[in-house]
């Protein structure tokens, strides 16, 4: 048996290119946005930077080869995500949210649907956005539960050759678009049969933007990710062609379930990136600051031990995320379980580790002049979004463990 975490020459080149681009371009996000008063103003100020990301080909680099992109899999995506998010979480989330927004189309779209809707995301120009409109006001943890649970409340009714959508969505990255009329493509999870069981009740329908009847009601003011748009949008009699349904009526449950498996591993990578940023700052602080003492604080055992613990946790998260991404790339039957562990363990470890590193730095870490405060605010969302660890992700793991055919060795042997 061979276990090898060595990156290929192409992957090393990709990682270094991502690091250089982040250092050159993404460092500008903070100075361009921090002084602005509202969430929407800060979001709008990121557009020129996002346009540079797209023009440099990074969107195309992370989209899969089979649909015209250059991405070779989840491991490559993880390498880019770590480098980007370590520098800025805002424009990075805008970029990676596009991949989620396109996932239903890539997974269930017909050749005709791909030809009609995918082109703008391969062009390396402009600021194209895509969003997966799943979450709703009031919560979506029980989105596919049978009655009396409400589940998804957004509806789509067939009227001749058009679907008519009504409802509201919340916590959907970039769903308002740059002009308030929606992104270039919005994949909307909706109820197409009110009387059907969960396996047949839900569908995913593509809404190209700008869409008449889509209203940006508010851009939420967030604790972290202060320059990223997370809106509430309403759909009032939004009409799209009948052909815009993905996989046919009733295919929504399968599409949603499949779409949120890879994202779990990616959130683990986001958490890793924030830990890395915090660790690098704290290590340099400890090397250079005496805090009125005789030697740099790194010379003290308590500081050295804390940094060692943080680095060990960070390495554990990195290799778990890499294994999960590799399992997704190779079609391992253990991929879903590993992705969930990467998300739950990675996100919760990040919050703990960053807090511990703030103790190393001390009271200075509580100042906005210090990056640790912003790093922690960004990291706090990782246990909560993309399926909360408590209400969604642990429940999924529980279901796996409770299955009669569950094999606990599959996750490390990679066999069914």
Residue 111: is it exposed, middle or buried by C-beta count within 10 angstroms (0-12/13-18/19+)?
exposed
Interatomic CA distance for residues 240 and 195, integer angstroms: 23
Interatomic CA distance for residues 74 and 326, integer angstroms: 7
Is 386 a known active-site residue? yes
Token pair of 325, please?
């991404």
**3-class SS of residue 202:** strand
Of the residues 76, 144, 378, 386, which is catalytic? 386
User: Which residues does residue 64 pair with via DSSP β-bridges, in sequence order?
Assistant: 71
CA 168, chain centre distance (Å): 21
214-218, long-range: CB < 8 A, 24+ apart = 214/181, 214/182, 214/186, 214/238, 215/180, 216/176, 216/177, 216/180, 216/181, 217/168
Question: What DSSP string describes 46-66?
Answer: THHHHHHHHHTTHHHHHSBGG
| Catalytic residue ranges | 386
């Amino acid at each position: 048996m061979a276990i090898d975490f060595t990156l290929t020459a192409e992957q090393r080149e990709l990682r270094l290119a991502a690091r250089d681009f982040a250092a050159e371009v993404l460092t500008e996000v903070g100075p361009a946005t921090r002084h602005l008063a509202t969430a929407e103003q800060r979001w709008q100020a990121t557009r020129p930077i996002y346009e540079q990301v797209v023009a440099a080909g990074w969107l195309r680099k992370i989209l899969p080869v089979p649909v015209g992109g250059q991405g070779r899999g989840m491991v490559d995506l993880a390498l880019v995500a770590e480098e980007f998010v370590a520098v800025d979480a805002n424009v990075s989330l805008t970029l990676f949210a596009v991949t989620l927004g396109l996932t239903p189309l890539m997974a269930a779209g017909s050749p005709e649907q791909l030809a009609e809707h995918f082109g703008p995301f391969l062009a390396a120009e402009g600021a194209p956005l895509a969003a997966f409109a799943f979450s709703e006001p009031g919560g979506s943890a029980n989105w596919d539960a049978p009655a009396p649970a409400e589940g998804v409340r957004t509806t789509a009714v067939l009227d001749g050759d058009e679907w008519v959508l009504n409802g509201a969505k919340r916590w959907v990255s970039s769903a308002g678009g740059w002009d308030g009329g929606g992104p270039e493509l919005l994949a909307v999870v909706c109820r197409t049969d009110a009387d059907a069981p969960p396996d047949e009740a839900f569908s995913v329908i593509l809404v190209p933007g700008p869409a008449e009847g889509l209203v940006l009601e508010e851009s939420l003011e967030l604790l972290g990710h202060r320059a990223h748009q997370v809106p509430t949008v309403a759909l009032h009699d939004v009409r799209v062609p009948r052909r815009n349904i993905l996989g046919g009526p009733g295919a929504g449950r399968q599409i949603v379930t499949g779409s949120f498996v890879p994202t779990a591993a990616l959130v683990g990578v986001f958490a890793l990136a924030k830990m890395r940023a915090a660790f690098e700052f704290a290590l340099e602080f400890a090397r250079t600051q005496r805090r009125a003492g005789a030697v740099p604080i790194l010379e003290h055992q308590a500081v050295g031990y804390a940094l060692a613990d943080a680095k060990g946790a960070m390495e554990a998260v990195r290799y778990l995320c890499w294994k999960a991404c590799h399992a997704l790339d190779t079609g391992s039957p253990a991929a879903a379980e590993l992705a969930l562990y990467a998300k739950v363990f990675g996100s919760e470890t990040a919050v703990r580790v960053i807090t511990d590193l703030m103790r190393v730095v001390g009271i200075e870490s509580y100042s906005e002049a210090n990056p640790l405060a912003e790093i922690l605010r960004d990291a706090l969302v990782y246990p909560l979004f993309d399926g909360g660890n408590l209400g969604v992700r642990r429940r999924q793991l529980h279901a796996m463990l409770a299955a009669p055919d569950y094999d606990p060795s599959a996750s490390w042997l990679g066999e069914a």
